[in-house]
Structure 1
């Protein structure tokens, strides 16, 4: 009996060691991203770390169940067999080193994505070669993570030795001892079941449970990445939400669009340019400072500029479908790789193709990157131009594809071969990690507080050269240009000044803090430019999201057809103008001066947008506003879930 209790004690020591390393990796996550959690004090972080143990224990039990069984199975001398012991040691060291390494690595990724990694990261790794190409550069840039992983492996090995492997005692199992061991094993397995599901609540532990412990911004610290990967694996869809009957639903939000206006389609050309990783924070004219985008600033002065514009998400694979189809991503996986990837969507390319437009999609990346070439063709683009079609790898950046400047020049050439009217869409790539620029520009653009600032300036300059050359083309003055970031990127730490050339080139600290809350983190520049059309000049300060681009373009073209869109035209003053997001397991609506967070059942928080740290929850103080936003969001979710699940995203009579 004493011998078996000793084995259980060894198991508890091993689990305790794993919990300790999970806690240390959580502390590292917090410290590495301190700029995003600057208002969370030391004692509060201790509370969060204690709460996080519940999520740590769940994933530890799931991944270590074989090791646990090998400890508690009612064996005699077999337990002390050297191969049996080596197997336990191997499982203990290998599995948990991988788990902790994933947790540490995500401390870096979080700075780019603003969320714990989920199943979509695994899909990115396995459907694309880009992850393998970036790995050497990532290891070089974040060499200290490699050192930490080596230290962890060493620590696990040393601690495993210290736990000790005793010599096999003389064991003669009696009926009483076998009964005790069997009963103990069943009790421990019961406790493991309790730990794995996170308690005795009705539903097993999920990411959503973390939102019950405090503000949304604390959720990523409470969670751990192995847990978020595990709980989102194979769960790419959205729940079936039903809140209203059909007549009531349309009162709050209507996704079926049709305008009746005089006149025929205004067949102007349409060019959409998606800029990789262009945060609103980087644009000087939108933040009252110098900034890193002088050309974009000059274009904004002659365009319809959306000063409260938001991306659909934090991934390029969210922005592209949203911009083309007006459907945001409110699920863990990108729509392109999700269970809804083969749905039939209403697409701007398809609509315009039926109006005799020629259509083409441009992206300088290696063909097949993100599955873009196949996806955009399914949306109605007749041609796809990528790295293969460009045909000159002298301009290859060795990571993602062709540098922006030469590829934008190539785009002008190919547009010149298209018949008018045409719809062309470009997705740039140079301002993506690892931020490579051509050698001839290495001393041209200054470093800012962030490494991305220099390459943002390079892409901005590439855009300037594109417009300078395009001005000489016959199609230029008959073209509507829509320029939007695909998503934001890293944000500067408020008050930080590094050892850099342009350290003082920063927005106000209050803006920097705003760009880190659950609403402001999605802020991007969007503008519409029509050469020679003064009616499209000025500031649009209502909320505008990427999903609003499709209906706005169709309004500008005087399109009278019926279609489905989850966004609304900026020209329509009678409808709801809001942004919708999926934030760490919660749904969010940003509307006028407020943003509301909703867990699928009830609201969890209501904040003023100028509450930059989201510290004052107004749910009880402003119930009327909370109810209004809740109903709009519920209607939106109901339409989204029903139509995505039923593949009901096109007007059937079309």
Structure 2
């Protein structure tokens, strides 16, 4: 009687069992890598991976659960043979994917995803990648998996799925089948959280193998197929690659005397570093950048105390893109983002890694969900010692949508920094100036329109930062601390800028803190987010070769330019003006009067070469 009601549950747990087995097989097959993990870390592989395993199982249950519901509605309808055929087909596919992944992981260093599709026209390249694979062993594993899962399903699960008596089309069985089908959406999404599950949700360790092992392999393949992140060819082929490289290289070549022109602005080459990333902070509302006065009085004051860079542009228009540009000095892609592919971000340089190697303690603070856009996997690949997110705060401190109010996050940051060993490197990402622009203080500016709400949210974030700085100046570590402050991207308000307009991408960037020797006049060189890490590292007397897409903004010999991307287009800014280009229509959108024709070639070359680099990561 009970099995009539529990058919959906039994079928779901069969696929959950399959997921656990293939995870154990992956760990066992790569036992030399697994030997580096502790017993607790191996346990966490299964524990953290359980949500993705459940998501995979839920996807596979959709068709059978519909069949169970239909059977419960009609007495003489028998669909279990359809369910059996469907299940055995999936078993074959899963076993094939799992077997291929075992050896491809050895060859490529990342879990199987949609990447092999780019080799369909040149299968010899894929074969070459795994030419030393133990074919007989892998064939045996494939057959054993098929036999194991098929036998367990046939002997244990299938007998419980067949309709045998009136209980299988009773009201209770009908209600159970309907509820199970409706509730599949919860495990499919990975829970009730705001953001659907992605790879970041199962990443938990600084050890790459542990994170890779926690990923559900079939889910990863389906996710990658859905995201279409496997572009086989560079769609931005505007010139010969050699010519593109000459254009881009010329932007970073300095005269031999340039090393003697470096400006040193810090009292020490080993200061504490606080990196504040400002959500959606646009230069149009920053008074010291010529924006509307009165919105950012505290940032304006900090700019007067430190160094303000007046012509800095975000590399893209999304938070996850800006994060990579700011912390890895890496260019942004147009219609995708490298952060969505953890196997690519593993190859990026990270400011955190550089400073950690110098003995810095590292931490990252964000009031929202780190799983958003795979940010957590990026941060774990960066090797941060401590990650703090909304789940480390009581729910009463949340705003209506994203997470913790900025002043709460900054207060927690200040408290933790008091106990951190020096030198420390800590990153904080604000969020209150993200729509819906909820703020916990009375509005400064009257109005209920979206532009005014955004302006009030920027004022609130500035207010929270001002309070933080006031308290930070009282701390013993202040005199040996440099603060890097920059936005993740700009904003269309005020003015409702079109997506390509350079004013939408112009952002604040400043250096301040007790570690600066003095206040300095504003720096007018045109630059990008990708220039911030090299500029800081030059001040710390550390190598910058890894960050090849950036330049030192404090070197007078540095060339003045910025490159940014929007949805399948780019903008290129120089002292002569800005040119914007549509990569789809292959035509110029806007061109300032003094922009020379050659400037478009530099933009095309940068677009082509940076995307080629992304494909090769």
**Quick check: TM above 0.5?**
yes
Q: Which residue in the other structure is 1:605 paired with?
A: 588
CA distance in 2, matches of 1:334, 1:398: 27
CA distance in 2, matches of 1:257, 1:567: 16
Q: Which residue in the other structure is 1:586 paired with?
A: 569
* 1:532 Cα deviation from its structure 2 partner: 6.2
CA distance in 2, matches of 1:127, 1:255: 48
CA distance in 1, matches of 2:367, 2:297: 23
- Cα pair distance change 1:466/1:631, threshold 3 Å: same
- Cα pair distance change 1:310/1:367, threshold 3 Å: closer
Q: How does 1:110-259 map to 2 (within 5 A)?
A: 234=228, 237=231, 238-239=234-235, 241=237, 242-244=240-242, 248=246, 251-254=249-252
* 1:321 Cα deviation from its structure 2 partner: 0.7
1:455-507: CA deviation from partner (whole Å, max 9, x where unpaired): 211111100111011111111111111111211224234xxxxxxxxxxxxxx
Query: Contact 1:244/1:635 (CA < 8 Å) preserved in 2?
Result: no
- Cα pair distance change 1:236/1:316, threshold 3 Å: farther
Q: Could you say what secondary structure the match of 1:563 adopts?
A: coil
* 1:587 Cα deviation from its structure 2 partner: 2.6
* 1:632 Cα deviation from its structure 2 partner: 3.0
- Cα pair distance change 1:546/1:476, threshold 3 Å: same
Task: Say whether residues 1:358 and 2:361 are aligned partners.
Answer: yes
Task: Say whether residues 1:633 and 2:603 are aligned partners.
Answer: yes
Q: Which residue in the other structure is 2:155 paired with?
A: none
- Cα pair distance change 1:600/1:256, threshold 3 Å: farther
- Cα pair distance change 1:432/1:129, threshold 3 Å: farther
Task: Say whether residues 1:273 and 2:276 are aligned partners.
Answer: yes
Q: Which residue in the other structure is 1:461 paired with?
A: 463
1:251-272: CA deviation from partner (whole Å, max 9, x where unpaired): 4234999997899981111111
TM norm structure 1: 0.54
* 1:608 Cα deviation from its structure 2 partner: 5.8
Aligned equivalent of 2:437, options 426, 435, 458: 435
* 1:558 Cα deviation from its structure 2 partner: 1.6
* 1:388 Cα deviation from its structure 2 partner: 2.4
CA distance in 2, matches of 1:367, 1:638: 31
* 1:574 Cα deviation from its structure 2 partner: 2.5
Task: Say whether residues 1:643 and 2:575 are aligned partners.
Answer: no
Q: Which residue in the other structure is 1:344 paired with?
A: 347
Q: Which residue in the other structure is 1:424 paired with?
A: 426
Task: Say whether residues 1:296 and 2:292 are aligned partners.
Answer: no
Query: Contact 2:316/2:489 (CA < 8 Å) preserved in 1?
Result: yes
CA distance in 1, matches of 2:368, 2:381: 19
* 1:563 Cα deviation from its structure 2 partner: 2.0
Query: Contact 1:447/1:454 (CA < 8 Å) preserved in 2?
Result: no
* 1:520 Cα deviation from its structure 2 partner: 1.6
Query: Contact 1:273/1:427 (CA < 8 Å) preserved in 2?
Result: yes
Q: Which residue in the other structure is 2:116 paired with?
A: none
Q: Could you say what secondary structure the match of 2:452 adopts?
A: coil
* 1:290 Cα deviation from its structure 2 partner: 2.3
- Of the structure 1 ranges 259-268 and 244-253, higher mean CA displacement relative to structure 2 is found in 259-268
Q: Which residue in the other structure is 2:394 paired with?
A: 392
Query: Contact 1:252/1:631 (CA < 8 Å) preserved in 2?
Result: no
Query: Contact 1:445/1:457 (CA < 8 Å) preserved in 2?
Result: no
Task: Say whether residues 1:596 and 2:579 are aligned partners.
Answer: yes
* 1:415 Cα deviation from its structure 2 partner: 1.9
Q: How does 1:568-579 map to 2 (within 5 A)?
A: 568-579=551-562
Task: Say whether residues 1:478 and 2:465 are aligned partners.
Answer: no
Structure 2: gaps spanning 5 or more residues: 1-187, 197-225
Q: Which residue in the other structure is 1:549 paired with?
A: 532
- Cα pair distance change 1:350/1:296, threshold 3 Å: same
1:218-246: CA deviation from partner (whole Å, max 9, x where unpaired): xxxxxxxxxxxxxx962564437443269
TM norm structure 2: 0.57
- Cα pair distance change 1:233/1:367, threshold 3 Å: closer
1:74-112: CA deviation from partner (whole Å, max 9, x where unpaired): xxxxxxxxxxxxxxxxxxxxxxxxxxxxxxxxxxxxxxx
Task: Say whether residues 1:539 and 2:537 are aligned partners.
Answer: no
Query: Contact 2:245/2:609 (CA < 8 Å) preserved in 1?
Result: no
CA distance in 1, matches of 2:246, 2:563: 20
Task: Say whether residues 1:306 and 2:315 are aligned partners.
Answer: no
RMSD of aligned C-alpha atoms? Answer: 3.6
- Cα pair distance change 1:582/1:490, threshold 3 Å: closer
1:291-319: CA deviation from partner (whole Å, max 9, x where unpaired): 31111111122221122111121111111
- Cα pair distance change 1:399/1:420, threshold 3 Å: same
Query: Contact 1:588/1:598 (CA < 8 Å) preserved in 2?
Result: yes
Q: Could you say what secondary structure the match of 1:524 adopts?
A: strand
Task: Say whether residues 1:403 and 2:386 are aligned partners.
Answer: no
* 1:642 Cα deviation from its structure 2 partner: 3.2
- Cα pair distance change 1:430/1:608, threshold 3 Å: same
